[in-house]
């Protein structure tokens, strides 16, 4: 049962990684943390679920719709919570995002109800590889996560806006001085991060067959943990962090008990951070 548990962990971890990358994009460019990311993920998940249950659209269209909804929401959050307070320091935007997260959660309860909303199953088949039964859906989820990471890399490395984002991440004042439209970069980075969160939300809804208003809390926390674990500003670090948390959780269930999954996952994170405060692949923290 070790290999199936590794695959379970990898699948779950790849979705944590998508959430974690969102935190990295936001922190990396803007040097700020958002606490509404989990709720953006939840709203993306609901958009995807509605697309599948109400309009009966295929899953990839639902995925696109979830991502689009999260993009718009992220764009608005950046406009409301971050743009007007660019010079106000860290605390006010942080508090606003906590407020927004509560608003979004309650709004979801009002709009969609507090109970689980079922999401139809896709790819219920399994395939056998070297005697091990693997769920096709898990392969699809891993494929989607990997595909999105590749697209993101192409965007960041190969396009003009990607280059602007990297420049802003290094030093936004210098980038601004060189003629980069920093506001636009912030806006796009935030929307892009939200979009990845929305994708993770849709995929987790499909994976567990349920979406519900408080689903963002755990995902936001795990994603944030994975981001810190990986080194705060490193995308490969966030991916690694997400996957390690996912795998550790599933192995804990296998070798200890179901109740210990979060205990052990966070314990590993604490130990790593004590030994290596900059995270797995992080730069040494600069003093700002």
Name residues whose C-beta falls within 8 Å of residue 257's C-beta, 6 or more positions apart in sequence: none
Residue of 176, 261, 266, 268 that binds another protein (CB under 8 A): 261
Burial tier of 181 (Cβ tally within 10 Å: 0-12, 13-18, 19+): middle
Q: How big is the CA angle at 79 (ends 184 and 162), to the nearest 5 degrees? A: 25
Stretch that binds another protein, among 79-87, 99-107, 150-158, 254-262 (CB under 8 A): 254-262
Question: Is residue 157 a contact residue for another protein (CB under 8 A)?
Answer: no
Question: Is residue 258 a contact residue for another protein (CB under 8 A)?
Answer: yes
Hey, how many other C-beta atoms are within 10 angstroms of the C-beta on 127?
10
Per-residue contact track with another protein, 199 to 228, x per CB under 8 A? ---------xxx-x--x-------------
**Residue 134, phi then psi, degrees to nearest 5:** -120, 135
Name residues whose C-beta falls within 8 Å of residue 129's C-beta, 6 or more positions apart in sequence: none
Name residues whose C-beta falls within 8 Å of residue 83's C-beta, 6 or more positions apart in sequence: 183, 186, 187
Here the tokens at position 288 are 């700002």
**Alpha-carbon span 149 to 46, nearest angstrom:** 22
Per-residue contact track with another protein, 58 to 97, x per CB under 8 A? ----------------------------------------
- Shortest Å distance, C-beta 275 to another protein: 27
Residue of 8, 14, 194, 234 that binds another protein (CB under 8 A): 8
Stretch that binds another protein, among 88-96, 112-120, 150-158, 178-186 (CB under 8 A): 112-120
- Give the total of residues touching another protein (CB under 8 A): 33
Q: Are 20 and 230 in contact (CB under 8 A)?
A: yes
Residue of 73, 249, 265, 282 that binds another protein (CB under 8 A): 249
- Shortest Å distance, C-beta 118 to another protein: 5
- Shortest Å distance, C-beta 204 to another protein: 9
Q: Which is nearer to another protein, 115 or 171 (CB)?
A: 115
Question: Is residue 168 a contact residue for another protein (CB under 8 A)?
Answer: no
Per-residue contact track with another protein, 115 to 144, x per CB under 8 A? xx-x-xx-xxxx------x-x-xx------
Label residues 213-247 b or e (16+ Cβ within 10 Å = b): bebbeebbebbbbbbbbbbbbbbbbbbbbbbbbbb
CA separation, residue 231 to residues 115, 131, 267 (Å): 36, 37, 17
Binding site for another protein (CB under 8 A): 1, 4-5, 8-9, 11-12, 115-116, 118, 120-121, 123-126, 133, 135, 137-138, 208-210, 212, 215, 249-250, 253-254, 257-259, 261
């Amino acid at each position: 049962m070790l290999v199936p548990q590794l695959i379970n962990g990898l699948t779950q971890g790849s979705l944590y990684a998508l959430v974690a990358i969102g935190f990295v994009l936001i922190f990396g460019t803007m040097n700020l943390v958002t606490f509404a990311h989990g709720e953006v993920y939840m709203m993306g998940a609901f958009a995807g679920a509605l697309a599948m249950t109400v309009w009966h659209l295929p899953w990839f269209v639902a995925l696109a719709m979830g991502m689009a909804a999260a993009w718009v929401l992220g764009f608005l959050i950046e406009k409301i919570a971050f743009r007007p307070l660019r010079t106000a320091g860290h605390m006010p935007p942080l508090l606003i995002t906590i407020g927004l997260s509560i608003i979004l959660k309650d709004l979801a309860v009002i709009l969609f109800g507090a109970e689980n909303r079922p999401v139809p199953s896709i790819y219920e088949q399994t395939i056998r590889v070297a005697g091990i039964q693997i769920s096709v859906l898990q392969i699809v989820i891993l494929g989607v996560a990997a595909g999105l990471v590749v697209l993101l890399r192409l965007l960041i490395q190969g396009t003009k806006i990607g280059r602007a984002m990297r420049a802003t991440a290094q030093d936004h004042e210098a980038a601004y001085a060189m003629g980069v439209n920093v506001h636009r970069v912030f806006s796009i980075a935030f929307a892009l991060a939200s979009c990845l969160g929305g994708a993770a939300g849709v995929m987790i809804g499909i994976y567990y067959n349920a979406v519900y208003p408080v689903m963002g809390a755990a995902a936001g926390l795990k994603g944030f943990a994975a981001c810190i674990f990986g080194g705060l500003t490193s995308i490969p670090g966030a991916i690694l962090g997400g996957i390690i948390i996912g795998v550790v959780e599933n192995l804990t269930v296998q070798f200890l008990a179901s109740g210990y999954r979060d205990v052990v996952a966070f314990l590993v994170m604490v130990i790593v951070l004590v030994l290596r405060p900059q995270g797995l692949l992080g730069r040494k923290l600069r003093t700002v």
